[in-house]
Amino acid sequence: MKEVIFLNYTDGFLNYTEKLRGEIVELLKKYKPELVFSFDPANREFDDLNLLHRDHRILSEAVFDACFAAKNLHMYPGEHHKIKKIYFFGTHKPNHFEDITEQIDLKLELLACHKSQFTDFSKVKSFVKDNISRQTDLYEYSEAFRILEVKQIT
């Protein structure tokens, strides 16, 4: 997919509504992804104001619920769609680490594009390299995920 889709919610003021969940279900049914990436809704330790930002918490729950609803035959109109796996990032219980050593500079370059979010990117760059991307000794830099395999039981 080469398209970026904005749902036009105000940054910092997202609310969990049926409208939000329905919009995500509609996108899942339209694009039919096998994998979904989202913040981890199980991360409830409230130990990081940035990681556990209100919008991140709300969106992670809405995405989780939308993945269930999209595979359900009766909840929303249209053909159902089953996601194979959900990759949760921002997790405290990773079960998979992806080596990004060769992509760390690209990751930082892309993060730097979010100028409205980061007034001093040098601090962000250091934090990402020294903390976020060093959660395992397996690789110099990595992304940590909690992968959930979605089971279709109906």
| Tens-digit pLDDT profile for residues 30-42 | 999 999 999 999 9
Give me the amino acid identity at 81. Answer: H
- Per-residue pLDDT of 46-93, as tens digits, reads 887 777 889 999 999 999 999 999 999 889 988 999 999 999 999 999
What digits encode the pLDDT tens for the residues 105-150?
999 999 999 888 888 888 889 889 988 888 899 999 999 999 999 9
**CATH domain 18-149 topology:** Rossmann fold (3.40.50)
Helix, strand, coil percentages, rounded to 5, for the chain: 35, 15, 50
Cβ(88)–Cβ(147) under 8 Å?
Answer: yes
Q: Taking 80 as the threshold, does the pLDDT of residue 153 lie above it?
A: no
Structure token digits, residue 89 = 């990032």
Query: Residue 43 is encoded by which pair of tokens?
Result: 């991360």
- Listed by start position, the domains of the chain span 18-149
User: Phi, psi at residue 53, to the nearest 5°?
Assistant: -50, 140
Classify strands 96-99 and 85-89 as parallel, antiparallel or unpaired. unpaired
Q: What angle do CA 87, 70, 98 make, to 5 degrees?
A: 10
Is residue 52 within 8 A of residue 5, CB to CB? The reply is no
Which amino acid, one-letter code, is at 77? P
